[in-house]
Amino acid sequence: LDSKETKFPIPAGVFAQTVTEVQHYTDRLFRFRMTRPASFRFRSGEFVMIGLPNAEKPVFRAYSVASPSWDEELEFYSIKVPDGPLTEHLQKIKEGDTILMRKKPTGTLVNDALLPGKRLWMFSTGTGFAPFASLIRDPETYEKFEEVIVTHTCREVAELTYSKNLVASVKDDPLCGEFAHGLSLYATTTREDYPFMGRTTDLMTNGKLFEDLEVPPISPDTDRGMICGSMNMLKDTKALLEEFGLVEGSNSKPDTFVVERAFVD
Ligand code: A2P
């Protein structure tokens, strides 16, 4: 893309990409897709820094790539914050607009940071679902784990639209469906009536999560975890997984669970 098309020059060391699709879910949530630079490689579950070419020194924020590493485009799932330095502008993007992306992806919510196991748990709240949207579309996840359970908790039912649609489409897709038969979504709300309600932390403590899914409680022999949500959600979920005997891992030292904070503007 030519920098003449934007008001400000494209900073050195960043990719300038074109928006291909935008979908709004609620007044607080939307998803967008953009072109992917031919040279850009990442591991499913990693995040990148995203900005807009609307200032001499653009504001960049961390965004998990929501698309899998094999996808020819890049997808992102975002919150809209009224006075958010980036999202107040980002929420207005349209097809054809330019988005800036720093060149280096990073992150700990990757298959490489976990030891092999039978069952992988992905715990998310709000936009913390984004890295899991990538990982549940990656065949590598199912090569490593027989069962993949994604939990997604939001305040309201409409905020579950992206995860519910995505999991349904993965299971329906002829290509993904073939490897994703071990995938299930456990979606709950906390502030609006829904068949499944409550924080996953409470549902783990009282055992309802395991009863509903018909699986044994979490054990380091069989289970692995990934956590993505708000600061408090990470802290509480991490403490519970540690009570079950899981140990936090990293890229350099893989273990039985990994943690990453969801993007908050
Ligand atoms: P709750 O409605 O009980 O606060 P938020 O929009 O504040 O990030 O919250 C997103 C979802 O995460 C909400 O359903 C919220 O439940 C839930 N949540 C907030 N804090 C925690 C926590 N410490 N552990 C588990 N779930 C949490």
Ligand 1, atom 27: nearest CA belongs to which residue? 233
DSSP assigned state of 210:
H
- Residue 219's CB: how many other CB atoms inside 10 A? 14
The residue to which tokens 């790539």 are assigned: 65
Question: What's the Cα-to-Cα distance from 121 to each of 86, 109, 183, 222, 246, rounded to whole Å?
Answer: 31, 12, 10, 11, 12
Q: Which amino acid is located at 218 in the chain?
A: I
Q: What is the pTM of this model?
A: 0.95
Rounded Cα gap, residues 77 and 162, in angstroms: 9
Q: Which of 228, 129, 257 is nearest to 187 (CA)?
A: 129
Is there a contact between 129 and 150 (Cβ–Cβ < 8 Å)? yes
Is there a contact between 134 and 66 (Cβ–Cβ < 8 Å)? yes
pLDDT, residue 77, reads 97
pLDDT, residue 265, reads 57
Question: What's the Cα-to-Cα distance from 142 to each of 19, 62, 148, 166, 208, rounded to whole Å?
Answer: 30, 27, 8, 17, 25
Is there a contact between 135 and 42 (Cβ–Cβ < 8 Å)? no
pLDDT, residue 4, reads 47
DSSP assigned state of 255:
B
Ligand 1, atom 20: nearest CA belongs to which residue? 233
CA of 125 to the centre of ligand 1 (A): 7
Binding site membership of 29 for ligand 1 (Cβ less than 6 Å):
no
Residues 6+ apart with CB under 8 A from 70: 138
Q: Does domain 111-261 have CATH number 3.40.50.80?
A: yes
Q: Pick from 78, 151, 199, 228 the residue to mutate for probing ligand 1's pocket: most ligand atoms within 8 Å of its CB.
A: 199
Which residues does residue 116 pair with via DSSP β-bridges, in sequence order?
A: none
Domain segments of the chain: what residues?
3-102, 111-261
Binding site membership of 232 for ligand 1 (Cβ less than 6 Å):
yes
pLDDT, residue 3, reads 47
Phi, psi of 85 (to 5 degrees): -55, -35
CA of 240 to the centre of ligand 1 (A): 15
Nearest atom within ligand 1 for CA of residue 189? 14
- Could you tell me if residue 156 is left (phi over 0), alpha (psi between -120 and 50 degrees) or otherwise beta? beta
What's the fold here for domain 3-102?
A: Elongation Factor Tu (Ef-tu); domain 3 (2.40.30)
Query: What is the chain's pLDDT, residue by residue, as a tens digit (265 residues)?
Result: 544 466 788 888 899 999 999 999 999 999 999 999 999 999 999 999 999 998 889 999 999 999 999 999 999 999 999 999 999 999 999 999 999 999 999 999 999 999 999 999 999 999 999 999 999 999 999 999 999 999 999 999 999 999 999 999 999 988 788 889 899 999 999 999 999 999 999 999 999 999 999 999 999 999 999 999 999 999 999 999 999 999 999 999 999 999 999 876 5
Is there a contact between 129 and 77 (Cβ–Cβ < 8 Å)? yes
Binding site membership of 155 for ligand 1 (Cβ less than 6 Å):
yes
Q: Pick from 26, 77, 125 the residue to mutate for probing ligand 1's pocket: most ligand atoms within 8 Å of its CB.
A: 125
Q: Which of 57, 8, 52, 13 is nearest to 34 (CA)?
A: 52
CA of 71 to the centre of ligand 1 (A): 31
Binding site membership of 191 for ligand 1 (Cβ less than 6 Å):
yes
At CA 13, angle to CA 80 and CA 3, rounded to 5? 75
Ligand 1, atom 16: nearest CA belongs to which residue? 190
Residue 162, H or E segment: helix 161-172
CA of 58 to the centre of ligand 1 (A): 31
Nearest atom within ligand 1 for CA of residue 188? 14
